[in-house]
Amino acid sequence: MFGCAAYSGQEDFLNIITQEVKYNVIRLNNHPSIVVWSGSNENEKALHDGWFKNPLKAIQYSDYNSLYISTVFKTMTKFNGYNTDWIDSSPSNGLYSKNPYIKIWGDPSSNDAGDNHF
């Protein structure tokens, strides 16, 4: 649903996303081909590498956290539980913990943690 772009962290947008995530998690929750849920495609990499050329990078990190962690992840776990495999973006360094949510920041292309795109 989210890929290769910067998305807003504004409350009105996040409210719409909450409803969409709820609908899709309930609809797809027991589908046998879903092995991992992901918040975005390449948005952590884009944020890390500065693809968006925004001088207010702190706002982009805040919006990223608001969207993928506070909204998408929180809504997904509400309807799917914490046992679901989850990454907030692919590629990503992954997580130390889902509850409490502790993310591994750094270069998402690192071979030291998480997944990688070749």
Round to whole Å and give the CA distance between 80 and 82. Answer: 7
| Residue 118, domain member (yes or no) | no
Q: Is 20 a catalytic residue?
A: no
Mind listing the pLDDT tens digit for each residue in 90-111? Answer: 999 888 998 898 999 988 888 8
| Residue 37, domain member (yes or no) | yes
| Residue 2, domain member (yes or no) | no
SS3 label, residue 115: strand
pLDDT of residue 32: 86
HEC string for 42-100: CHHHHHHHCCCCCCCHHHHHHHHHHHHHHHHHHHHHHHHCCCCCEECCECECCEEEECC
What pTM does this model have?
A: 0.87
Tell me how far the alpha carbon of residue 44 is from its chain's centroid: 8
pLDDT of residue 30: 85
pLDDT of residue 53: 73
Q: 11, 20, 42, 44: which is the annotated catalytic residue?
A: 42
Total number of domains in the chain: 1
pLDDT band per the 50, 70, 90 thresholds, residue 80:
confident
